[in-house]
Amino acid sequence: MKKTLILISLISTVNFVNAQEWAGATGTTTGNIYRTGNVGLGTTTAPGALLHVQTSTGLPFLLERTSIGHMNNFKIAFTSTPVSGLSFGGGSTIFHAANPQATSDMVFINGTTTSAPRIVFKSSGNLGLGTDNPTHGLHLHGKQLKLSGQSGSGNIIFGDATETTNVWGLEYNAYTPGREGLNFWKPTGNPGGSGNYYLFLHNNGNVGINTNNPQTNFHVNGKCLIGDDNTALPGVYRLYVQGGILTDQVKIAVRNSINWADYVFEPNYKRMSLPELDVYLKTNKHLPNIPSAKEVSAEGFEVAEMTNLLLEKIEELTLYVIDQQKVISELKTEVEKLKNN
C-alpha cells in the first residue's frame, strides 16, 4: 500500500511539472512558457514539425496589433480576400504579398490591399513590374531598367539553348578614359571565341566596329561589304559595294608625288618614238602601260592608278604634239625660203 501511494505521488508531481512548463509559473502571467517536442494547433494527428498549424477555415496564422488593425501586422493566410497573404507595414502603407484575384499568381502591392499590383509573379512564370498581366518572362510597364557597376559587372548576358553557354554580352565599358561606351562582346566560353568591341557605341555617339575609339559617326576597323551574303571581298580591299555607288563628289589622295604623272616632263623620261608607238599599237591593240580589255575584265583596275596612267598618256600626247609643231614650224620656214628664192 505504501509503495502504491509513493508511485501515485510521483506521477502527480510529473504531471504538475509538465503543466507548469506549458502554462507558466502558477498564479502569474509573466512566467516563461516552454516545451520540448512538436506542437500542433488544429491538428487531429501528431504534429509533423516544431510548430504545425492546420485549419480549413479562417487564418492559420495571425500576428496583429489589434489596436491598429491588419495594417500593422504580420499575417499568413490562404483566403480569396485582398487582406490574405503576407503583409508588412503600418498606417495606410503596407507591403502585401497576396492573392487577391484568387488565382495561383503571387501579387506584391505597395499602398493598400486594393492598390494596383507593383510586382506580379504569374503562374506561367512571367514576372511583371508595374503590370498585373505580364506577357513575357520580364515585363516592365512604365518602369526603367538600370544596370550599374564597374566595367564588366553591369552586364546583360545572352546564352544559347543549353542554358550554360554564354554567347553574347552587353555592358557599359569604361576601362579606358575617353573610350567609354556601350560594348557588345563575346564572353569566355563562347564556341566561336571571346573578344571585345564587336559593336561599340561611344559616349559621343560614334559607332565602332572592332574598335572602342571610333573617329567618325561610323568607323569600321576591318573590311566592309555592302551587298548580299554571297559576295566575297577579294584581296586586301577594305570596302566592296555591290551594285555601285551614287555620289556627287569623289576625292582620291595619292600616297606621294611619284604616283602622279608629272614625271613625264622630266628630262630623263623615255617615251616611244611615233614609229615605235605605231608598231606597238598594231601588235598589242592598247597603249603602253595601259591594261588590256581582257585584264580589266578579269581583275578590274584601281581608280587612282588608272587616272595617273591616263594623265601619263595625255602628257605624252602633249609632248608629241609639241614635237610635231616644231617639225611643222621648221618645214614652214623651209617652204618660205624656197618661195623667196
Does the residue 206 lie in any domain? yes
> 182 and 256, same structural domain?
no
Report if residue 244 sits inside a domain.
Answer: no
Same domain, 73 and 108: yes
Last residue in a domain, options 88, 108, 140: 140
Residue 198 maps to a domain: yes
Identify the weakest region by mean pLDDT among 109-113, 122-126, 154-158. Answer: 109-113
- In the block, residue with C-alpha cell 598618256: 313
Residue 32 lies in a domain: no
Is the pLDDT score of 16 beyond 50?
no
Same domain for 176 and 116, yes or no, is no
Question: Which of the listed residues 218, 242, 262 is the one where a domain comes to its end?
Answer: 218
Q: Cα separation of 179 and 93, whole Å?
A: 46
Question: Do residues 263 and 249 lie in contact, with contact meaning Cβ atoms separated by under 8 Å?
Answer: no
Q: Does residue 13 lie in a domain region?
A: no
Same domain for 159 and 123, yes or no, is no
Phi/psi of residue 207, nearest 5 degrees: -110, 130
- pLDDT, one tens digit per residue, over 187-202 is 888 888 889 999 999 9
Indicate if 195 and 265 belong to the same structural domain. no
- pLDDT tens sequence across 60-107: 666 555 544 433 444 554 443 434 455 555 444 455 565 544 556 777
- Give Cα 202 to chain centroid, integer Å: 14
Mean pLDDT score of the chain? 78
146 found inside a domain: no
User: Which candidate, 300, 272, 303, places its Cα nearest to that of 288?
Assistant: 272
Nearest C-alpha neighbor of 94 from the set 114, 120, 67: 114
Going by pLDDT thresholds of 50, 70 and 90, the confidence category of residue 59 is low
* DSSP element (H, E) containing 117: none
Supply the DSSP symbol for 262: G
Confidence band for 18, pLDDT divided at 50, 70 and 90: very low
Note whether 257 and 331 are same-domain residues: yes
Q: Which whole number is the average pLDDT over 106-131?
A: 78
Together in a domain, 177 and 103:
no
Q: Are residues 257 and 330 in the same domain?
A: yes
Residues 89 and 134 in one domain: yes
What's the total number of domains in the chain?
3
- Domain assignment present for 231: no
Asked, for residue 321, whether it belongs to a domain, the answer is yes
Residues 210 and 270 in one domain: no
Q: The domain containing residue 130 runs over which residues?
A: 53-140
Q: Give pTM, 2 decimals.
A: 0.58
Residue 154 identity (one-letter amino acid): G
Strand (E) or helix (H) holding 296 = helix 293-299
* Percent residues over pLDDT 70 in the chain: 71
Q: Is residue 121 packed enough to be buried (19+ CB in 10 Å), middle (13-18) or exposed (0-12)?
A: middle
Mark which of 89, 105, 140 sits at the end of a domain: 140
Cell of 165: 553557354
**Cβ contacts of 183 within 8 Å, gap of 6 or more:** 169, 170, 171, 172, 173, 196, 197, 199, 200, 212
